[in-house]
Structure 1
Amino acid sequence: MSFYNFAKFVVKSYLKPKYKVQAIGTENIPKKGSVIICSNHISNYDPPIVGITCPRPIHFLAKEELFNNKLFGFILKHVNAIILKRGTSDRNALRQGLEVLKEDNVLGLFPEGTRSKTGDLKKGMPGAGFFALRSKAAIVPCAVVGDYHSKQPLKVVYGQPIDMNSLREQKASAQEVTDVIMDEIRKLKENH
């Protein structure tokens, strides 16, 4: 068993019953080929919650500060996290993210860039659009719906892949593509 699968098993054993996690729409995640999963961001628990509900291993971009703790940094590196220097155009993180997609893996992004303290969707940053336009990956919107402090089940909803053909034909900008992705995440939240 790989470290990733072991960590997923441990985290799932703890988080799934604690938050009564329900995964909806996992069949929308292609079983093969490159995929970008774009989710809203309401809690520090979002990456592991999305990670345990996705049937494929995910490579998340993670802010550099999370790697400062040696133990946590070690774990992050071994569960496919890519170090991201926030506030800059981190070319190394962009290159690594594109490499993940080139190798037909799954890249996990939180387009808002930081957690929403109110739970409302914030404007997405152009990074998600950059990866979508620079790769042939399927773009799967994802919404974490609910409240980590509620007794209600926490839902992780995966939508159908976004059709990128028309956006490419229109020569949409990275920001315009991100706006479309965020709109799909908004619809998932509203419908669940």
Structure 2
Amino acid sequence: MFRKILYHSGSRAVKIYSKIMFKMDIFHHFHIPRGAKIIVANHPTTTDPFLLTSISNGQAAVLIKDILFDIPLFGKYLHWAGHIPVKKDGGGEAFERALTLLKKDITVIVFIEGDLSQFLHKIKKPKTGAVRLAMLSGKPIIPIGIGVKMKNIHSISSVIKGVRELGKWYFKGPYALTIGKPINIKGNVMDKNKVRYLSGWLGRKISSLEKESSKRLNLSK
């Protein structure tokens, strides 16, 4: 109950902040349904997880680097709000936790590249976690393409427990989301060729949605 209250309080705070500081541009090819789903997006900025939870239409947990949970106060918030730490040397534990949450009717948010995007308008080799989660849970994937203005990204380097971490923060300005239609994926997770093929296809789909978002930003004044 406490986690749910904290999550919704944080989500409301983000919505208020985004209305004041961001020029949100959201285009729906399909409105995000209620209930458990797997939101999969590109990841141009460190700010993305918070904005995606604010439009998720229900409680959502984000897969986030475990090192960020070591930041004083902020890490405690991530833990208490129910987000999922992902270890650098393997995401098996995080994957199982995400699958458990989906079965409890909680949405899971996954970044297709597994990390911050290295380049705008280009997605690295996609990770397979989203497709495997969809196969095992039976929940739909909601693909989202995020578009931002390069000049508004602030790169901030920090040291967390001796490890240097680069954050790409987006504090204000135009922020575009293009939300695709739900994708239902069936298959055997042991069929690695199919999993890789579908993950590549999903990456291209998200890249296409990102281009739609970026195009709207370039056309806007």
> In the aligned structure 2, how far is the partner of 1:28 from the partner of 1:184?
17
> In the aligned structure 2, how far is the partner of 1:58 from the partner of 1:179?
24
Q: What are the equivalent positions in structure 2 for 1:66-145 lying under 5 Å apart?
A: 66-88=68-90, 90-119=91-120, 120-145=122-147
* Residue deviations 1:97-134 (CA, integer Å, cap 9, x gap): 10011112210000201112321221211112221221
Provide the residue aligned with 2:60 in structure 1.
58
Matched-pair contact (CA < 8 Å) for 1:62–1:83: yes
So what's the TM-score if we normalise by structure 2? 0.76
Deviation at 1:148, TM superposition (A): 6.1
* Residue deviations 1:29-72 (CA, integer Å, cap 9, x gap): 2223x200000000100101111222222111111100112311
Letter matched to residue 176 of structure 1: Y
Letter matched to residue 17 of structure 2: Y
What secondary structure does 2:73 align onto?
helix
Provide the residue aligned with 1:176 in structure 2.
197
So what's the TM-score if we normalise by structure 1? 0.87
Letter matched to residue 174 of structure 1: V
1:185 to 206, 212, 216: 206
| Cα RMSD, aligned residues only | 2.2
Provide the residue aligned with 2:180 in structure 1.
159
What secondary structure does 1:173 align onto?
helix
CA pair 56-26 structure 1, distance change in 2 beyond 3 A: farther
Matched-pair contact (CA < 8 Å) for 2:178–2:212: no
> In the aligned structure 1, how far is the partner of 2:68 from the partner of 2:134?
25
Letter matched to residue 113 of structure 2: E
Is residue 8 of structure 2 the alignment partner of residue 5 of structure 1?
yes
Matched-pair contact (CA < 8 Å) for 2:134–2:184: no
Letter matched to residue 205 of structure 2: E
> In the aligned structure 1, how far is the partner of 2:205 from the partner of 2:9?
32
Unaligned stretches of 5+ residues in structure 1: none
Q: Report percent identity of matched pairs.
A: 26
Matched-pair contact (CA < 8 Å) for 2:131–2:185: no
Is residue 35 of structure 2 the alignment partner of residue 14 of structure 1?
no
